[in-house]
Amino acid sequence: MKVDRPVVRARDLDRVVLLVSGPLAAIKGTYAYKYIKHGEEATYASKKSRAVPVPQRSTCAARHPWYDLTGLVDPGFAFWPKSQQYRHIIPGNPSKIVCNCNLYDLGAKDLNKDEQKVLLAVLNSTVVGLFKTFYGRYAGTEGNLKTEVIDVNLIDVPDPRGATASVAKRLTDSLKSMCKRDIGGFVETSLKECHTYARALEISSETVYFGKGRRQHIVCQSRGEAELVARMASLGVSGEVCVPKLNPNAMKLLHFVNARHEKVEKRLRELAASRSGDSDTQEQVFKLLERWYVVGKPAAGARTVDDELKG
């Protein structure tokens, strides 16, 4: 889950694994030596076998020396995540890092280094990201796709050896660019944190719904524009209004509107409280003053605050 771009390097990790293959005499006096010697003498009981020293367990006894795991390690040129949720990242492994059971080593010994880079770029493409959903199975939390080795082997992937020099360069250049930035998810963070239908309606992308029946709606060009339009509608603004389309500009204006309204709201509530001691009446007066502030006072002859208080 800590992988945030299509490459994993040793300097990015906070854990290491030590593999010992030589005779113990070569590392005598080290903590590794003490650890292995402890394993030779300690016994651990299990439900399937009696308590015996670690070297006498079946899997360990089949190795010589029993603690040597280097023969089982063959790092690939990239990793395939066993579980994927809302993201598609196939990280390259230029440092030949050893992975755990949550990652699969991808090997392509029949490809040269350049062809492996092209393949890695292809694996990080949107096409493969979509293809993989037809394999494996969903398990656990929503959107968690599990793929076993047999599933990965069945996925159709374009052959990098068929790429022309220009296409190969475009692919590898794109991969280099991707490695310089974090890879986001397929959905927004707010949507991933949504757990109720009501919350889903509140954060439904760039769409703004109007009315109790939500029958009318508009699709904005950015999340900022949608939030700004929704905020203006909640303040009583209607009709045609020109607002910024770009997210940064719309969010800047939204923050300005909220800050200004917050300051004015305090003063309007003070005025409402000075006209009546009844909380319901105060709220009615506040709503009227707020509307006057937002859309302007009504024309001459329209109802006043006193009229509203009298019913």
Cβ-proximal residues to 123 (8 Å cutoff; 6+ apart), any chain: 78, 80, 90, 106, 157
Q: How confident is the model at residue 300 (pLDDT cuts 50, 70, 90)?
A: low
Residue 49 located in a structural domain: no
Residue 155 located in a structural domain: yes
Q: Report the percentage of the chain scoring pLDDT > 70.
A: 89
With a cut of 90, say whether residue 28 has pLDDT above it.
yes
Considering the domain architecture, whether residues 162 and 210 belong to the same structural domain is answered as no
Considering the domain architecture, whether residues 205 and 294 belong to the same structural domain is answered as yes
Confidence at residue 204, expressed as pLDDT on a 0 to 100 scale:
60
Average pLDDT, the chain: 85
Q: For the segment 115-167, what is each residue's pLDDT rounded down to a tens digit?
A: 999 999 999 998 999 889 899 888 876 678 899 999 999 998 989 999 999 99
Phi, psi at 79, each rounded to 5°: -120, 145
With a cut of 50, say whether residue 311 has pLDDT above it.
no
Residue 277 located in a structural domain: yes
Distances (CA, A) of 150 to 82, 106, 135: 11, 13, 9
Considering the domain architecture, whether residues 215 and 160 belong to the same structural domain is answered as no
Strands 137-138 and 52-53: unpaired
Considering the domain architecture, whether residues 201 and 182 belong to the same structural domain is answered as no
Q: For the segment 87-121, what is each residue's pLDDT rounded down to a tens digit?
A: 899 999 999 999 888 899 999 889 999 999 999 99
Choose one of 186, 217, 235: the last residue of a domain: 186
Confidence at residue 16, expressed as pLDDT on a 0 to 100 scale:
85
Residue 143 Rama label (left phi>0; alpha psi -120 to 50; beta): left
Confidence at residue 79, expressed as pLDDT on a 0 to 100 scale:
95
Confidence at residue 49, expressed as pLDDT on a 0 to 100 scale:
72
Of residues 233 and 301, more confidently modeled? 233
Q: Which two tokens stand for residue 86?
A: 């809302």
With a cut of 90, say whether residue 298 has pLDDT above it.
no
Considering the domain architecture, whether residues 223 and 276 belong to the same structural domain is answered as yes
What does the pLDDT average to over 49-77?
Answer: 88
What does the pLDDT average to over 173-181?
Answer: 92
What does the pLDDT average to over 8-20?
Answer: 87
Q: For the segment 195-234, what is each residue's pLDDT rounded down to a tens digit?
A: 676 666 566 687 787 777 777 888 888 888 888 888 888 8
Angle subtended by helix axes 247-275 and 223-234, to nearest 10: 20
Confidence at residue 197, expressed as pLDDT on a 0 to 100 scale:
61
For the beta carbon of residue 236, count every other beta carbon within 10 angstroms. 12
Considering the domain architecture, whether residues 252 and 171 belong to the same structural domain is answered as no
CB 10 within 8 A of CB 95: yes
Considering the domain architecture, whether residues 201 and 297 belong to the same structural domain is answered as yes
Considering the domain architecture, whether residues 134 and 228 belong to the same structural domain is answered as no
Considering the domain architecture, whether residues 202 and 293 belong to the same structural domain is answered as yes
Q: Report the percentage of the chain scoring pLDDT > 90.
A: 33
- Tell me the residue range of the domain where 105 lies: 81-89+101-186
Residue 170 located in a structural domain: yes
Of residues 7 and 308, more confidently modeled? 7
Considering the domain architecture, whether residues 218 and 246 belong to the same structural domain is answered as yes
With a cut of 60, say whether residue 305 has pLDDT above it.
no
With a cut of 60, say whether residue 307 has pLDDT above it.
no
Number of domains in the chain: 2
With a cut of 90, say whether residue 292 has pLDDT above it.
no
With a cut of 90, say whether residue 294 has pLDDT above it.
no
